[in-house]
Amino acid sequence: MAKPKIGVYVCHCGSNIAGTVDVPQVVEFAKGLDAVAVAREYKFMCSDPGQSMIKDDIKNLKLNRVVVASCSPLLHEPTFRHAVQEAGLNPYLFEMANIREHCSWTTEDHGEATAKAKALVSAAVKRVYHHQPLETREVPVNANTLIVGGGIAGIQAALEIADAGHKVYLVEKDPSIGGHMIQFDKTFPTLDCSACILTPKMTAAGSHPNIELMTYSEVEEISGFIGNFKAKIRKKARFVDESKCNGCGVCMEKCPWKADSEFDLGLSQRKAIYTPFPQAVPNIPVIDKESCVYFLKGKCRACEKFCEREAIDFEQQDKIVEVEVGNIIVTTGYDPFDPTPIVKYGYGRLPNVYTGLEFERICNSVGPTSGKIVLKDGSEPKSIAIIHCVGSRDENYHKYCSRVCCMYALKYSHLIKEKTKADVYQMYIDMRCFGKGYEEFYKRLSDEGVTFIRGKPAEVIDRAMSEEEKGKLIVVGEDTLLGTIVRVPVDMVILCIALEARADAKNVAQLFGISQGADGFFIERHPKLDPVATMTEGVFIAGCCQGPKDIPDTVAQASAAATRVLALISKGKVELEAAVAVIDEEKCSGCRICNLLCPYNAIDFIEEDEVSRINEALCKGCGTCVAACPSAAITHKHFTTEEIMAEIEGVLV
């Protein structure tokens, strides 16, 4: 290989870098570094002219190494690698110095910033001197997709991919798909019946030849990498043989045992053998061991006696199913916030204080009150208060706005007005009606005789101070527009509870290699430009697991994630990282420490040669084995000791 001849390019990034770093000084400094043939500056190195500058120099000056000092490699390393490749250089003969995120953005001190920029450039130059050309390889992409979570996001993504002709495994932990959306009564702002618009999609997903529905199932293990994942899925025992059951429902009718309905949030009861709701997909019941008396006491088996198809199987065991997929979409949704800790709002303590989700069930015609809005005593409420931002926009609970509450609160007003003669009070801090048709919906509701009170209520109490407050719930707080304390006596209070990250989001994040934000929601690869990808290639997110959002946004995101997957399937192959570890078999003592440590199971012990060997297709280049090898037999390509020492030496100028 020819003697290194390095070109250094320092980017202004408009004023992002040049506003703090003295770029001409850095360029002059770079010119004086060993093996540097040329050093230049430009306003935007990532622009076409910027890239052309590099390409021209490679050709004209016969450069064989390139350093660009600009932003984070996360953003533009692919751009510049591509540029040097186009000019005929191996893309690994390139190094990036981050003088923006790591330098100009961290200080206002021009002198310090310039000094640090020089150090980073020097480090990059010394490092790139030792770079070796590396070859990337491609592996085929398995065209099957795993989708985890059968709410509207999962269903939408599954249908998009299945309709395009590819196999989807749709895994749902509950007995039926449908998610939270199927619990809602109506959807804002159009007031469509939620089930009416969702059940066709559920049925389509349930019967689609390309979708393998795995309900009452959970993913337990993921291995492999983009294009080639393996998933272990636990199919929990339903105690009902899916191949025999025709969903006639006799078992549920005859079962004498009851338990609180999860679907109705404990407001009604279901049988010990049950489907969560009438339109369940699949329409196959499960037996809940906790409340089935046969499982508890060994007697009953009524369901079995009445099942003509002999589908009941008390001996059924959990089954582990292994599937191979190329891509994964995580659509695990959200948990509703439990308002019990906000003691002053009386939830769980005062009767007729409900959460929003509970109210959805109360409004629903197949809900606990058959759709009648009634109080605990069965009478119709004469007045209802709806309290916004319960657990949202609150430093004590969740800092973020849950984005849907203003709108569902307006929807409740409409449903209340439609079904009762009750007065409705909306207690809000700010009305946020930002979506298409949302502001119009706000106006429409204002016209239906709803009273809006601006202020976050201090408490809900039942201590009457006057005759008209007797027997009522009294909402106390400041009407901030009047600047006075108001006491609003009502019969029912609805708390617009926050959407929060799933209680088990941390486990899910670990399982799929996704990062979590401080609020618990999953983090997308880029908040604006890469909203459904994650830091793990081949794993995508959509819907409320990424953050609170309404149905239109969820569906849009799900379709976006499906599109990303389809693009990878259609390309058919993925490029593998060339910066992987390699074992020098001469030095390997066969101790196998690396075998056990490798998080990707990429290292095998070769019995006949008594050495370990790395499967380059599986290696992600994490470096764990390199650090652990007691014989220093493992080298990390692109992170060799030589390269790292040179870089350290460079930064210490």
Partner 1 sequence: MEAISPLKETTDIILEEGGNALELCYQCGLCTGVCPWNRVRDFTLRKLIHKTQMGQIDFEDEDLWRCTNCYACVERCPRDVQVTHIMRAMRRVIMEVGAGKAPESFRITVKNIASVGNPLGEPPEKRMDWAKFLGVKTFTKGTEFLYFPCCYQAYDLAIQRVLRAAVYIMNKANVDFGIPASNVVCCGESVRNGGAESLWHNLAQTNIKAFAEAGVKKILVTSPHCYLAFKNDYPELGGNFEVVHILQLLAQLIKEGKLKFTKEVNKKVTLHDTCCVGRREGMYDEPRLVLTSIPGLELVEMRENREYSLCCGGGCMGRIWMETKKGERFSDLRLEQALETGASTLAVYCPYCMLNFDDTVLVMDKAGEIEIKDVLELASEALE
Q: What is the binding site for partner 1 (CB under 8 A)?
A: 343-344, 389, 393-396, 429-430, 454-459, 476-480, 483-485
Q: How many CB atoms lie within 10 A of CB 398?
A: 20
426 versus 554: smaller Cβ distance to partner 1: 426
Closest distance to partner 1 from the beta carbon of 346 (Å): 12
Nearer to partner 1, 80 or 347 (CB): 347
Judged by beta carbon, residue 24 or residue 341, the one nearer partner 1 is: 341
d(CA 376, CA 395): 33
Q: Is the dihedral of CA 288, 289, 290, 294 positive or negative?
A: positive
The rounded distance, in Å, linking the Cα atoms of 454 and 439 is 17
Nearer to partner 1, 309 or 399 (CB): 399
Are the beta carbons of 543 and 331 closer than 8 angstroms? yes
The least CB distance from residue 180 to partner 1, in Å, is 25
CB of 341 to partner 1, least distance (A): 11
Determine the Cα–Cα distance for residues 171 and 221; give it in Å rounded to an integer. Answer: 13
Nearer to partner 1, 399 or 587 (CB): 399
Alpha-carbon dihedral angle through residues 38, 44, 48, 54, given to the nearest 10 degrees: 10
Tell me whether residue 400 or residue 639 sits nearer to partner 1 (CB atom).
400
Tokens (6 digits) for 549: 């959002």
Q: Which is nearer to partner 1, 260 or 459 (CB)?
A: 459
Shortest gap between Cβ of 478 and partner 1 (angstroms)? 3
Name the residue with tokens 């199913």: 321
Strand ranges in 141-261 using DSSP code E only, listed in sequence order: 145-148, 168-171, 186-187, 192-193, 211-214, 217-225, 228-235, 258-260
Task: Tell me which H or E stretch contains 74.
Answer: helix 73-86
Q: Where are the beta strands (DSSP E) in 196-326?
A: 211-214, 217-225, 228-235, 258-260, 269-271, 273-274, 286-287, 319-325
Name the residue nearer to partner 1 (CB basis): 199 or 402. 402
What would the two tokens of residue 569 be? 């399937």
Least distance (Å) between residue 466 CB and partner 1: 15
**Tokens linked to 132:** 């070796």
With tokens 């009452």, the residue in question is 216
Query: CA–CA distance from 497 to each of 84, 375, 391, 403, 550 (Å)?
Result: 53, 20, 6, 11, 14
Alpha helices (H) in 515-640, listed in sequence order: 551-571, 593-597, 624-628
CA distance 509 to 515: 6
How far is it, in rounded angstroms, from Cα 455 to Cα 100?
Answer: 43
Minimum gap (Å) between residue 483 Cβ and partner 1 = 5
Cα 71 to Cα 45: distance, rounded to the nearest angstrom: 10
Between 388 and 502, name the residue whose CB sits nearer to partner 1.
388
Cα-atom radius of gyration of the chain, to the nearest Å? 31
* H helix intervals, 274-404: 293-297, 302-306, 356-363
Cα 371 to Cα 381: distance, rounded to the nearest angstrom: 14
CB 485 to partner 1: min, Å: 5
- Closest to partner 1 by CB, 243 vs 484, is 484
Pairing between β-strand 334-336 and β-strand 499-501 as defined by DSSP bridges: antiparallel
- Residue 182 or 493 having the CB closest to partner 1: 493
Q: Provide, rounded to whole angstroms, the least separation between the CB of residue 429 and partner 1.
A: 5
Structure tokens at 647: 């870089």
Closest contact distance (angstroms) between CB of 50 and partner 1 is 41
Distance separating alpha carbons of residues 167 and 147, to the nearest angstrom: 11
Phi-psi region at 224: left, alpha or beta (left = phi > 0; alpha = psi -120 to 50): left
Where does 491-550 have alpha helices with state H? 505-512
Using CB atoms within 10 Å of the CB of residue 486, give its burial: 0 to 12 exposed, 13 to 18 middle, 19+ buried. Answer: middle
Min CB(490)–partner 1 separation in Å: 16
CB of 460 to partner 1, least distance (A): 11
CB of 340 to partner 1, least distance (A): 15
- Helix, strand, or coil (residue 11): strand
Q: Which is nearer to partner 1, 483 or 527 (CB)?
A: 483
When the beta carbons of 158 and 474 are compared against partner 1, the nearer one is: 474
Q: Which of 327, 333, 283, 397 is nearest to 539 (CA)?
A: 327
- The least CB distance from residue 444 to partner 1, in Å, is 26
Q: CB of 339: closest distance to partner 1 in angstroms?
A: 14
- Tell me how far apart the alpha carbons of residues 29 and 248 are, in angstroms, rounded to a whole number: 81
Q: Considering beta carbons, is residue 461 or 597 the nearer one to partner 1?
A: 461
Which lies closer to partner 1 via its Cβ, residue 233 or residue 495? 495
User: Least distance (Å) from partner 1 to the CB of residue 455?
Assistant: 4
With beta carbons less than 8 A apart as the criterion, state whether 505 and 522 touch: yes
